[in-house]
Structure 1
Amino acid sequence: MDSNSSSSSSVSGTLILIAGLLREPAGTRPLVFTVVLFFYSVALVGNLLLCAAIYRDVRLHRPMFILLANLAISDIVGCSATLPRIMHDLVAPNLISVGECITQMLAIQFYRALECYVLTAMALDRYAAICRPLHYHAVVTNGRAAAANAAVVVVSALLVSVLLILTSRLNFYNCDRPKAVYAAQCDNVQLLNFACSDGTANNVYGLVLTSCTVGLSLAAVSFSYASIIYECRFRGTSRDTAASKGHQKAMQTCVTHLLVLAVFYLPVLFLVTYNRVDKYLPIPDAARQLLGGLFYLAPPALNPIIYGVRTKEIRKAMLRILCCKFGRDSVTPGDEGH
């Protein structure tokens, strides 16, 4: 922690010290900056490429890929809300204004809610495709997938708007509480620690928000994949060989989604849990910062790689864009072998 940062923080009550950064020793800052820049570049390029591939290739104009495009947009929001600011704080005084801190906290909450709901929609899509195959194409259409994308954006924005209203009522000025965020980014729990007014409503709503996003999402995802496993492992054994092989192939496609779920939910569960019990189970700062950083480093960077490597249609579409081949063969449905 820099001495000039500490003095600046004490002089101005409107500035917050970002203390949870790997700034010390100072000689490691270029390395940390390079690592963060690498992850941000991979996340930005990978997700933009994924969106472009889905938009340009009509073979990818299907419900699952429409939902995946929204997941990529969510990842761009998440990494852009955190990583550029972290890089700034590594090369400049690590101070942030109250308004900027609140804005970042809201953006991160929006990212978390949006990512949870999109992953839930994708899990339900896999459930419908595998457990209700005869009704899938009649029920799950491109229009309904687009409507689901719009709905999760609206619901996420409404949930975060309530948190904005509650936070705007808090007094962060004219008080002598130490203003320091012991993480690489601002969050609701950290903000309440140096607010001068009562933050009980914010704390309660934070729990409600977590329940409505992470809790409901995990419940829906667990139901979907429990049903899929039952369908493929138990009911599928009593069916003909062709149906059994179809279920095996469907299970293989679900592995990709399960990897994406693990990459997102494991860091989220760590953050949600540790923010509530950090006083009772302290861990080294460096380890806590690295584990917490996985929330906004791993999913945005790894999701497009996972889908690009494991999904043939996306891999081919991405390669066509990278090779600058946008001729008739890249949009003609009859070309692709499955």
Structure 2
Amino acid sequence: MLKQKIIIQALKRNRNTMSEDNITTVVNTFVFVDLISNPKFQIILFFLLLLIYTATLLGNLGIIALIRSSPQLHTPMYFFLSNLSFLDVCFSSVVTPRTLVNILVEKSISLTGCAIQMYFVIGLASTECFLLGAMAYDRYVAICKPLLYPSIMSPRICILLVIGSYILGLLHSLVQTVFTFRLSFCGSNKISHLYCDISALLLLSCSDTYLNELLIFCVAGSVETITALSVFISYAYILANIVKISSAAGRLKAFSTCTSHLTAVTIFHGSILILHFRPKSSNGSSIQDVSDKILAVFYTTVTPLLNPLIYSLRNKEVKDAWSATQRKLCVKN
């Protein structure tokens, strides 16, 4: 009997110890792993990202202001472009300021803060996927059905396409975020990424992540496939229509209206596919080495900067509107 009591007491002590260990290992905050360990290079990286972020804000906000102030740019194409620039400003602002703080000062983020950041990162990126698809449809109508363009791409339809892009993007993000943060996080709390990326968080979970991986494969994969396919089909019809144009000058003019959008789509979808849908390494992580972090920097900070450069440097209408604005300012002064 005494021996049984001793065994029971030992089991109780072990159970209490295990409970205390579980409590102490539950993760309430996450810590971002340094991109660069050398302090000197960290300072260089800080100012480089700050410069890129400043240029991103100035470029995209400048595009929005130019479109709003130039009557010749009050068309569906530039309505979509102004919304694209707004998305890039928001996307960059969700990631880059926090990254700058992490480089120099605080490297941790709360569980709630991580959930909010992940929601907006996925939501804004998904919204941009749908918006780029809508822009491809706009180019298809403009080139393949020019006589019907004013009626098909009416202001009401354009607004509905933009609102629909936001609704679908944010709903997709809500699903991914809710299912991710229903998981338990214990043990290591170090995120090897610039921000709270869903793949990095799943690696830290001590719960079964099969359903989450299925959601990423099915839902996120469907978003990427559908939006990329809509762009591909639109441009297949566009190219088929351009080939039918008899004059070389006419073909060049028709194709030139699409080059900026096609370049932006290639960079954006290419970055997503390389970063999120490539094969994982042997330890189950796709973001463990330096090359992965460089890709994350490019996707989150450089890509939002490229859109205003692409549309301003390769677009004659934007250049003309900018010149007209400068002339007006000179006249006023």
TM tier, smaller: 0.7 to 0.9
Residue 198 of structure 2 aligns with which residue? 188
Q: Is the partner of 2:161 in helix, strand or coil?
A: helix
1:268 aligned residue (247, 266, 272): 272
2:281 aligned residue (278, 281, 303): 278
CA gap of 1:14–1:252, structure 2 versus 1, over 3 A, is same
Q: Is the partner of 2:329 in helix, strand or coil?
A: coil
Instruction: Confirm or deny: 8 A CA contact 1:123 1:221 kept in the other structure.
Output: yes
State the structure with more CA Rg. Answer: 2
Q: Is the partner of 1:64 in helix, strand or coil?
A: helix
In 2, the alpha carbon distance for the partners of 1:60 and 1:29 equals 42
2:303 aligned residue (296, 299, 304): 299
For residue 326 of structure 1, report the CA deviation from its aligned partner. 9.5
Instruction: Confirm or deny: 8 A CA contact 1:81 1:108 kept in the other structure.
Output: yes
In 2, the alpha carbon distance for the partners of 1:94 and 1:53 equals 37
In 1, the alpha carbon distance for the partners of 2:112 and 2:287 equals 30
Q: Is the partner of 2:245 in helix, strand or coil?
A: helix
Counting only pairs closer than 5 Å after superposition, residues 90-101 of structure 1 correspond to structure 2 as: 90-101=103-114
**TM-score normalized by structure 1?**
0.83
Q: Point out the more displaced range, 124-133 or 202-211.
A: 202-211
In 2, the alpha carbon distance for the partners of 1:300 and 1:186 equals 18
Residue 228 of structure 1 aligns with which residue? 238
CA gap of 1:277–1:168, structure 2 versus 1, over 3 A, is closer
Question: Deviation per CA, 1:139-183, whole angstroms, max 9, x where unpaired?
Answer: 1122211221111111212222222332342223xx3x2112111
1:162 aligned residue (175, 179, 200): 175
Instruction: Confirm or deny: 8 A CA contact 2:118 2:177 kept in the other structure.
Output: no
Residue 99 of structure 2 aligns with which residue? 86
Q: Is the partner of 2:31 in helix, strand or coil?
A: strand
**TM-score normalized by structure 2?**
0.85
1:144 aligned residue (136, 157, 162): 157
Instruction: Confirm or deny: 8 A CA contact 1:61 1:142 kept in the other structure.
Output: no
CA gap of 1:23–1:12, structure 2 versus 1, over 3 A, is farther
Identity percentage of aligned residues: 27
Task: Answer yes or no: is 1:253 the counterpart of 2:257.
Answer: yes
Counterpart residue type for residue 208 of structure 2: D
Instruction: Confirm or deny: 8 A CA contact 1:232 1:251 kept in the other structure.
Output: yes
Task: Answer yes or no: is 1:111 the counterpart of 2:124.
Answer: yes
Q: Is the partner of 1:277 in helix, strand or coil?
A: coil
Residue 13 of structure 1 aligns with which residue? 27
Question: Deviation per CA, 1:19-62, whole angstroms, max 9, x where unpaired?
Answer: 1x423111101110011111111111111111111112222111
Instruction: Confirm or deny: 8 A CA contact 2:287 2:293 kept in the other structure.
Output: no
Instruction: Confirm or deny: 8 A CA contact 2:118 2:196 kept in the other structure.
Output: yes
Residue 5 of structure 2 aligns with which residue? none
For residue 250 of structure 1, report the CA deviation from its aligned partner. 1.1
* Structure 2 residues not aligned, in runs of 5+: 1-23
CA gap of 1:201–1:248, structure 2 versus 1, over 3 A, is same
For residue 109 of structure 1, report the CA deviation from its aligned partner. 0.4
CA gap of 1:187–1:154, structure 2 versus 1, over 3 A, is same
Question: Deviation per CA, 1:67-120, whole angstroms, max 9, x where unpaired?
Answer: 111101111121111111110010014222111112111111012111111111
2:69 aligned residue (52, 56, 65): 56
Instruction: Confirm or deny: 8 A CA contact 2:133 2:230 kept in the other structure.
Output: yes
Instruction: Confirm or deny: 8 A CA contact 2:275 2:292 kept in the other structure.
Output: no
Counterpart residue type for residue 236 of structure 1: I
* Structure 1 residues not aligned, in runs of 5+: 1-9, 329-338
Residue 215 of structure 1 aligns with which residue? 225
In 1, the alpha carbon distance for the partners of 2:326 and 2:117 equals 33
For residue 318 of structure 1, report the CA deviation from its aligned partner. 4.0
How many residue pairs get aligned? The number is 308
